């Protein structure tokens, strides 16, 4: 499905909201006969200005509230990932506070329109409208921190990839800097994934696709590049690491675990094996999710390093892929395996 936060656009701050509302208000004109008394014209003009300003603010505030989907009604993946990226309780409280000013604005409108109906001189109309604008400004300015908070978190929420629950999903897992991003970039449609030679380049979930031609149709496979996840207790993992775990636990149809047999990643083989075992026993759903192994950086790896990792994992020659993600060497074998797996019996 489409990321439910895709429509969470820019949230204006209090100054921006007031500027828009007051400018539109001052440009508005009431329908009054040219022959009407000056006092009637003043009442109509200032009443119209107050109404337009408040209508504009109420409309924009309601739009801001509707930009944020109801978290509790989202699918598990989006709901839990949103709760990792932001404090859901704070988000709900913030939306509640902003929503709470709507009846106050309506009350300000009623009170000042009532005062306008009783003025005895045209200049009093201008004074009442200024008084209304002053109270409106005070109410909106008090919400500035809440408005800025919403605008701050929207970037993180909009970066959540769109997941199609009807489409298979391959998750690439492993320690930071082992080559996951390079592999996904090379085998999928997403050529914009940032790849650099240091850990934690991947700060979010990145999505690419592999298209598979079948005899009578075409299918697409989702490839999810996850942030590096460290082998430590769940409670001690940071938000970036938890995103990867969430992907593994909720949406993976196939997990490709990437090892770096060399010291290049900065993490020793024993630590990588511990992480592999954790994923194998906790997220493979007792064999329902296939778990493939990739030994990357074969250009740097010594034969002894590869052999050591094979023995530690008790693997046969045909039970892992040996790749060089930077040059693309042997990545075609991974793609072939994926295509064969998902083509099934044609």
For residue range 207-218, list pLDDT tens digits in order: 888 888 877 778
What is the value of pTM for the model shown?
A: 0.73
Query: 254 forms bridges with which residues in the sheet?
Result: 170, 290
Percentage of residues of the chain with pLDDT beyond 90: 40
For residue 197, the model assigns a pLDDT of 46
* Alpha carbons 220 and 217: distance in angstroms, whole number: 10
* Alpha carbons 312 and 270: distance in angstroms, whole number: 9
> Which range, of 60-69, 144-153, 230-239, 268-277, averages the lowest pLDDT?
230-239
For residue 277, the model assigns a pLDDT of 87
Most confident of 143-147, 231-235, 237-241: 143-147
- 267 band by pLDDT with thresholds 50, 70 and 90: confident
Comma-separated ranges of CATH 1.20.120.1190 domains in the chain: 14-158
pLDDT at 174 over 60: yes
For residue 343, the model assigns a pLDDT of 81
Domain 169-343 sits in which CATH superfamily? Answer: P-loop containing nucleotide triphosphate hydrolases (3.40.50.300)
For residue 287, the model assigns a pLDDT of 55
For residue 198, the model assigns a pLDDT of 42
pLDDT at 192 over 80: no
pLDDT at 201 over 80: no
Task: Assign domain 14-158 one CATH number from 3.40.630.10, 3.40.190.10, 1.20.120.1190, 2.60.120.10.
Answer: 1.20.120.1190
* Alpha carbons 135 and 206: distance in angstroms, whole number: 46
pLDDT at 100 over 80: yes
> Which range, of 43-57, 113-127, 223-237, averages the lowest pLDDT?
223-237
Distances (CA, A) of 126 to 50, 53, 122, 298: 11, 14, 7, 78
Average pLDDT over residues 57-76: 92
Q: By three-state DSSP, how is residue 139 classified? A: helix
* CA-atom Rg of the chain in angstroms: 29
Are the CB atoms for 195 and 201 separated by under 8 Å? yes
- 229 band by pLDDT with thresholds 50, 70 and 90: low
Most confident of 66-70, 141-145, 212-216: 141-145
- 90 band by pLDDT with thresholds 50, 70 and 90: very high
* Mean pLDDT rounded to a whole number for the chain: 85
Q: Look at 161 and 255; give whichever has higher pLDDT.
A: 255
pLDDT at 245 over 70: yes
For residue 32, the model assigns a pLDDT of 64
> Which range, of 35-49, 77-91, 276-290, averages the lowest pLDDT?
276-290
Residue 49 makes CB contacts below 8 A (sequence gap 6+) with 25, 26, 28, 129
pLDDT at 269 over 80: yes
* Alpha carbons 168 and 64: distance in angstroms, whole number: 34
pLDDT at 231 over 60: no
* Alpha carbons 332 and 319: distance in angstroms, whole number: 16
Distances (CA, A) of 31 to 1, 35, 38, 95, 328: 48, 12, 13, 37, 71
pLDDT at 199 over 50: no
Comma-separated ranges of CATH 3.40.50.300 domains in the chain: 169-343
- 321 band by pLDDT with thresholds 50, 70 and 90: very high
């Amino acid at each position: 499905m489409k990321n439910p936060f895709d429509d969470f656009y820019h949230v204006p701050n209090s100054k921006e909201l007031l500027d828009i509302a007051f400018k539109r208000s001052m440009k508005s004109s009431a329908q009054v006969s040219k022959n009407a008394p000056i006092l009637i014209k003043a009442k109509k003009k200032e009443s119209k200005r107050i109404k337009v300003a408040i209508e504009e603010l109420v409309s924009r505030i309601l739009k801001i509230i509707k930009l944020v989907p109801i978290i509790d009604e989202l699918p598990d993946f989006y709901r839990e990932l949103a709760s990792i990226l932001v404090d859901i309780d704070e988000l709900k409280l913030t939306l509640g506070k902003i929503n709470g000013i709507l009846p106050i604005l309506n009350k300000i409108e009623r009170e000042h329109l009532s005062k306008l109906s009783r003025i005895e001189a045209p200049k009093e109309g201008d004074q009442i409208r200024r008084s209304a604008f002053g109270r409106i400004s005070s109410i909106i300015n008090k919400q500035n921190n809440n408005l800025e908070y919403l605008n701050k978190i929207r970037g993180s929420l909009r970066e959540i990839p769109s997941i199609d629950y009807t489409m298979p999903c391959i998750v690439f897992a492993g320690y930071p800097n082992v080559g996951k991003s390079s592999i996904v970039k090379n085998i999928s449609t997403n050529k914009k994934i940032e790849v650099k030679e240091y850990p934690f380049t991947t700060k979010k979930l990145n999505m690419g696709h592999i298209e598979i031609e079948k005899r009578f149709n075409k299918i697409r496979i989702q490839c999810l590049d996850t942030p590096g996840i460290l082998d430590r207790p769940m409670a001690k993992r940071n938000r970036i690491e938890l995103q990867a775990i969430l992907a593994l636990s909720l949406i993976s149809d196939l997990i490709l675990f990437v090892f770096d047999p060399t010291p290049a990643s900065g993490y020793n083989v024993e630590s990588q094996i511990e992480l592999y075992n954790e994923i194998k026993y906790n997220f493979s759903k007792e064999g329902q999710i296939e778990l493939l192994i990739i030994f990357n950086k074969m250009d740097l790896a010594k034969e002894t390093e590869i052999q050591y990792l094979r023995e530690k994992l008790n693997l046969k020659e045909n039970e892992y892929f040996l790749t060089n993600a930077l040059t693309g060497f042997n990545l075609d074998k991974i793609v072939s395996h994926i295509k064969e797996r998902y083509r099934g019996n044609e």
